[in-house]
A and B are shown apart, each in its own frame.
Chain A
Amino acid sequence: MENRWLEILYHTYHQRLYLFALSLAKDEASAEDLVSETFIKLGVSNLKSEKEIEAWLFRVLKNQFIDTYRKNHRILDEGQYQVEWLVDPYDATKKYIKDEQKRWLYRKIYTLSDKERNVMLLSLVSQLDDVEIAQLLKISLDHIRSIRYRVKQKLIAYAKEEEML
């Protein structure tokens, strides 16, 4: 098949890109649009190795989000944005997270602050290392680690409360 390579990439990265896109756009349709536009840009990229693909995809997706929302005057400052949730994340992730318990936990993550949510999602759904996440979100390595530790404690407490642990 002529575009088989695009299909392979789509199957491999679509789910994790969508979960991160949903974290940014807080809307199912906008998240799907962001993922599609990211894949369209793949055609003109100049990637040298397989290790670069994922970081490149997340970077393009984030930039695509900033561009789109800047056009709509919804970006207040660099990295700070005000987007209201238009859907319940529990429903919006149904297609990609089948396990209900897991989906409840992810719902909890989606309700965190922007910074905490993005750090956790990139740590959980992507294969990016902390350095790549720090570069992508433009925050320090220590900050990433402390956010992740703090959120994990919150999630443990929540899981206990819900008798998942």
Chain B
Amino acid sequence: MNEDKKIDDLLSMDTKDIDQKTFKKIKHGMNMNFVKRMLVYTLIVALVLAGAYFGINKLKELTSYNPVNEKIEGYYNVFGDEEDSIDRQDFQMLVSAYISVANPGVVYVPLFGDGSYTNLGSGNYEYYGKYISYLDRINYGESEDIIEVSNRRIQLNTMFHVYQFYSKDKQITDEDNYPQLSENEIAKQHEALKKDIDNLPESAQVDISISFDKSMSFDQFVTYKQGILADVDVQYIATNIRDINTLGFSPLYFPQVCSTSYPGLCGDVVYTEEGLKEVYASSLKLLKDHSEFLQRAINYPYVIDVINDEVDKLKNDETKIYGIRLVVDKQTALKLLQDENTYYMQVFDAKFSPLQK
């Protein structure tokens, strides 16, 4: 027993423990240390996340479709004004070109300059302009229409009438999906239309489409225009009807782009076979050369094939004109309704006088 005690004394170490009061201080210190660490970690994580967020956004912007990057090749300024070329927005001109080709009855009046668009970030943009109809010759008010651009899609937010043109002699393919009109239907519709137009005042202006009895070549069309429409402006010439869509061009409202690559889009149109072909060819080429824009702007993917077909047809002199859209007075409307070249006529809108806003 005595030896046990002695050996215990020999082996004993002078150790002491921490009391409760000291522990509380230690614990407080540990907690503070923990809080500090957590703050540092949180700050680091926040910085990393913020960096990643901005990095991804930046990357997205770099890799996304950016309408500001759209450039029209060979552009030159006819007035030699440098500021004008800085302010020009090629994307706005493309929208205008597309509307003039694929949306009969609608004109896009873009806003140019610094305020013409807003970059919303992450590859999203808003472009400003105004859609007007053929009857609204003057653009009143603010440019309140918005074109929304995202990486995948360009939302044009435009409205247009479907089934504007019909054709008797167009070969209907399986993909085509528009109703054929019976003789009876046409006769009834003409009768009703004649009555309606008769009831209009003499000063009335009517926005109409004429579907030709037989499709015309450019040459035939120029002769036709010089006859019954000698004093009338044709707003739209329909060269392809497919499904609810129409493709064609406007000899009045094409975008004024002065470019060596698209000579048909600068200045006034020369009303000859060659002059009209030049406008149409330049409009189609301008769209075809901007495939990124086109793929996002078109709701119906087959329209891209139709545009490509039209380019070939124009080259091979195979383009046919199926109809026109125009604004005429009452008497001209009645004359056109009775004309032998008219297969079908539609009235989209009318106003009582050219002075009516």
Contacts and interface: CB of A to CB of B under 8 A. Distances in A.
Interface of A: 2-6, 8-9, 12, 15-16, 42-45, 47, 49-50, 53-54, 97, 101-102, 105-106, 124-127, 152, 155-156, 159-160, 164-165
B18 to A, nearest CB: 5
B23 A50 contact: yes
Given A43-B30, A44-B34, A50 B22 contact: yes
Contacts of A54: 17
Nearest to A106: B11
A15 B15 CA distance: 9
Interface band, chain B: 20 to 34
Pairs A-B, 9 closest by C-beta atoms: A5-B29, A50-B23, A5-B26, A50-B18, A156-B3, A125-B13, A124-B11, A156-B7, A165-B6
A127 B17 contact: yes
B26 A102 contact: no
A127 B23 contact: no
B13 A105 contact: no
A97 B12 CA distance: 11
Given A8-B22, A53-B23, A101 B29 contact: no
B20 interface: yes
B16 interface: yes
A15 B10 CA distance: 17
A14 B99 CA distance: 83
Interface of B: 3-4, 6-7, 10-13, 15-20, 22-23, 25-30, 33-34, 37
Main secondary structure of the interface of B (DSSP, over half): helix
Given A6-B29, A156-B4, A102 B16 contact: no
A33 B22 CA distance: 26
Contacts of B20: 49-50
Contacts of A50: 17-20, 22-23
Given A43-B33, A50-B17, A50-B20, A165 B26 contact: no
A152 B7 CA distance: 8
Contacts of A102: 10-11
Nearest to B23: A50
Contacts of A125: 13, 15
A106 B27 CA distance: 34
Given A43-B34, A156-B3, A165-B7, A49 B23 contact: yes
Nearest to B13: A125
Given A12-B16, A165-B6, 13 more contacts: A2-B29, A4-B25, A8-B18, A8-B22, A9-B26, A15-B13, A43-B37, A54-B17, A102-B10, A102-B11, A125-B13, A155-B7, A155-B11
Contacts of A165: 3, 6-7
